[in-house]
Structure 1
């Protein structure tokens, strides 16, 4: 029998706003979270399903697909063989009530945001003008206002939804050359932002795909600043994966761009991140030189920052300096700088407040002050219940792991572990 393209599954991807890579990530995540069985699904699997090369996927893929789309295999366009049968889903892993409440809250936020952002106003047909471009550009500042307070876990899905609607407009509307260039710049800005939210939410494969899309849009728009921004975020991602030398090379490429050299805020951020990178590989002199350059660059900044750079305040610069000193093993200086950053941090930056509180706790712990470290970590755990950030959860989990060695000798450490165990933090 000649293979037939699976148009039903293809339509579901469009309806739900998934790229091939994003659906593969979702299959892996659903398998792990819901059924407790990790899979190795990739975009190649998804392409083969759509092309009709695979007419009935293995159960390890079919079960998550049923969970994601809420449809039977046949409704997703799959054709059973004589020996095929619909697999019965295994019982889901038990979840504590504390784990389910943030999920419902995150879904509520996403639904409300989609309405608040006015995504329905993005045209689906006709001719696009500069007013339409401005409406698309306005999405990113609105998203970042929520990001500072909530974290990327609450935002990455709605950002991808917005991006899919912009793609539809790009492919189904008409526009002139000048508007086209502006549309690609706006699309790249949105893709880079969605990538950042996915990064913060722990969806690294999704983040990489979105960053690559932003780079392509930046090249089509001739937007060098967008490209430098994405390179910097890719460097952060490499560092997260402990590829420090790669991160430094990517960051160096961003620093050398013409656009970075003409934007003091962007240059300040790049030098700060390079300082942390140099510190992580033990290059003290280069780390200190990068911190000095960051301070000099920031001093030259004027006017209002771009939305994605609105987080770069004196508090953030000081916090990043604390991270660099911590990586160099200068724990006393690191905890003091981080305390200074927390003192300067504005009220709206809830996610960063939790992050830097954990950074200070880590510096105190590494410096031998276990009692104060436990107290600081406990405050962070309480605040962390209000944000959706995988980076925050990761740092808190690492601190809990390290605190266990002191539970028998330091009452404050035992109390921290018990409180966070009870709350599921």
Structure 2
């Protein structure tokens, strides 16, 4: 059989931030759960290298079970090629528990816990120096780790990542207090901490702890100012606007969005302008200023159209696709009472969403069901609600709203 490099597995490892040894460690952890701690076979980085190179195209069954469980997809979707027709059907792992009513909850908790453990392992936060002199290379590695954290947020939601983010924040702030560095590194370090605080804010938001989310977002703004990081400041202002809106403080949210739009970053970077104009539109709609909301929607779309697709986006802004612009427009239409337009825009957002943005798909699917209920379309809402899969996404906000949808449908 010709050797064929397993680019799918390689891409997934990059997405999860896993090294060869990191993947081997995760496989050993999962096989120990499936086959027992005393199982004699031990996966090493050499096994992983052989899988990626194509030298081994169909690993041993115990490793395939672990890989399927870790990445939550079948072996062939991981790029592996069966040796024959019968080998593609993996035997069930030993002592598989019978399904119970609580199985989906247990599965969701396992997936999120496993994902958090994977991210924590991949970040290698214990490698951040706590003594000595920091360099720009150290800061670059910190930003790389924060980018990985943001990528996982889009995939699984923030709740399981809160402990990871706060642990890494402890590490970086300790480094800031005890290491030595020059002025340039100091500013860059403040900017990195600001970015991580923003990530922690969203993780706390998804965990349902809005007080902690506000603390992290306020700290993000403070650190961004200390680091003179214009992009970090724009991000922090944008997050604070969302927080104010979540708390029902719509005029405050509007004023924050206006402040953020006055920043240099919003004027020069169309991605930031598109996001901030979309959130400004929601703010205007929530206080009843329909003409201003409509103008902001047009400005958001115009800014999104100016984005250069060849220019890479900051990792935390990867979610800002045409789908997200439609989704935010739907929230604006809903706030203005234009429910049919809101439903159309939400459906468009779901049609445009990329497969990896599972959190966004769950969010907008719930939004679509809510809009259908509000218009009396209970049959459509039941169909939509049935498609919402929260087993791979951990967000108290999304699951709480979905529960409210099911309750409304049960009493309709």
Q: What range describes the TM-score normalised by the shorter chain of this pair?
A: 0.7 to 0.9
Find the counterpart in structure 1 of residue 170 from structure 2. Answer: 164
Separation in structure 2 between the aligned mates of residue 354 and residue 96 of structure 1, nearest angstrom: 21
Aligned-pair CA distance for 1:104: 4.2
Choose which of 342, 356, 362 in structure 2 pairs with 1:354: 362
TM-score if structure 1 supplies the norm length?
A: 0.70
Is 2:212 aligned against 1:206?
yes
Residues 130-279 of structure 1: pairs in structure 2 closer than 5 A: 130-279=136-285
- Is 1:320 aligned with 2:314? no
In 1, the alpha carbon distance for the partners of 2:211 and 2:246 equals 13
Q: Which residue of 1 aligns with 2:49?
A: none
Query: Where does the alignment leave 5 or more consecutive residues of structure 1 unmatched?
Result: 1-94, 407-425
| Cα drift, residue 103 of structure 1 | 3.4
Question: Who is 2:75 aligned against?
Answer: none
Gaps of 5+ in 2: 1-100
Q: 2:117 corresponds to which residue?
A: 111
For residues 318 and 115 of structure 2, the distance between their equivalents in structure 1, rounded to whole angstroms, comes to: 22
Distance 2:178 2:384 in 1: 53
Judge conservation of contact 2:105–2:391 (CA < 8 Å) in 1: no
Q: CA RMSD in A?
A: 1.6
Q: Does the aligned pair in 2 maintain the 1:153–1:389 contact within 8 Å?
A: yes
Q: Which has the higher contact order (CA 8 A, sep 6+)?
A: 2
1:329 aligns to 2:370 (yes or no): no
- Contact (CA 8 Å) 1:151, 1:201: kept in 2 or not? no
Aligned to 2:371: 363
What displacement does 1:96 show? Answer: 5.7
Partners of 1:274 and 1:290 within 8 A in 2: yes
- Distance in 1 between residues matched to 2:135 and 2:216, nearest whole Å: 25
Shift of 1:110: 2.2
1:260–1:267 CA contact under 8 A, matched in 2: yes
Q: Find the residue that maps to 2:356 and give its secondary structure.
A: coil
TM-superposed deviation, 1:112 = 2.2
- The partner residue of 1:127 within 97, 115, 133 is 133
3-state SS of paired residue (2:411):
helix
1:51-66 alignment, distance < 5 Å: none
Q: For residues 228 and 171 of structure 2, what CA distance do their matches in structure 1 show?
A: 22
TM-score by length of 2: 0.72
Secondary structure of 2:167 counterpart? helix
8 Å contact 1:136–1:186 — kept in the other structure? yes
The answer to whether the 8 A contact 1:318-1:337 is kept is yes
For the residue of structure 2 that corresponds to 1:384, the secondary structure is coil
